[in-house]
Amino acid sequence: MRKLILLWLTAFAAIAVSAQKKIMVQPGYGFINGKESNASQGSLDAYYRLKLFNIGLGAALDVHYLQSVPLYVATQKIIGKEKLRFVVYGNGGLNIPVPRDDQKIYDWRFFGTGAYKPGHYYDFGAGLAIMVTRTESLLLTCGFSGKGTRQVYTTGYGPAGRLPPGEEQKSTFSYNQQRIVVRLKLEL
């Protein structure tokens, strides 16, 4: 229910901002299929229209494997003037992990704690833009996406048992989730 309310609020904000001629807003929803799991992604991109392509900023709520908020620079090229046009896009930026309570790290057996650190985010693909009205289009795209994060785990135990007071052992684990994304967006 929260996701649906968030989607409607972003759509309302997008309509208010898109009254400008040079600014284009695209709320969207993506279906993710990856090695670890299937999930979804809600996004909001704001583009500035240039002659050859569109460039802007975007943010998303990504719940694939580890919940995170990607913040990225978005580029897009829409080819054609007909009702059915071709779209090519590419996004890149920072992936900020926002773990749910059940994804937070604490190991009571070894007095260990952990934290997730920001990583990379990228997304590129192609699709179709179907004109609904003179200024609005429905975009259906398919692309390849990836996000990364690091987990830093600190414990008071080493390979030989409990470490002396004040000493800690740190371990770093890198995660890189690569997945296919089918996305539906509304261009306002």
CB burial class (10 A; 0-12, 13-18, 19+) of residue 13? middle
User: Which residues, 6 or more positions from 124, have their beta carbon under 8 angstroms from its beta carbon?
Assistant: 89, 90, 91, 143, 144, 145
CB burial class (10 A; 0-12, 13-18, 19+) of residue 62? buried
> What is d(CA 7, CA 44) in angstroms, rounded to the nearest whole number?
9
Q: Is 2.40.160.20 the CATH classification of the domain at 2-187?
A: yes
Helix (H, G, I), strand (E, B) or coil at 80: coil
In this predicted structure, the answer to whether residue 7 has a pLDDT above a threshold of 60 is no
HEC sequence for 173-185? EEEEEEEEEEEEE
For 146-183, the DSSP string reads: EEEEEEEEEESEETTEEPPTT--EEEEEEEEEEEEEEE
- For residue 175, what pLDDT band results from cuts at 50, 70 and 90? confident
Query: pLDDT (tens digit, 9 = 90+) per residue, 87-121?
Result: 999 999 999 988 766 555 555 555 556 778 899 99
In this predicted structure, the answer to whether residue 18 has a pLDDT above a threshold of 60 is no
Q: What proportions of the chain, in percent to the nearest 5, are helix, strand and coil?
A: 10, 65, 25
Residues forming a β-bridge with 25? 46
In this predicted structure, the answer to whether residue 15 has a pLDDT above a threshold of 60 is no
Whole-prediction pTM: 0.76
> What is d(CA 12, CA 17) in angstroms, rounded to the nearest whole number?
9
Query: pLDDT (tens digit, 9 = 90+) per residue, 127-159?
Result: 999 988 877 889 999 999 998 888 887 766 655
User: What residue spans define the domains of the chain?
Assistant: 2-187
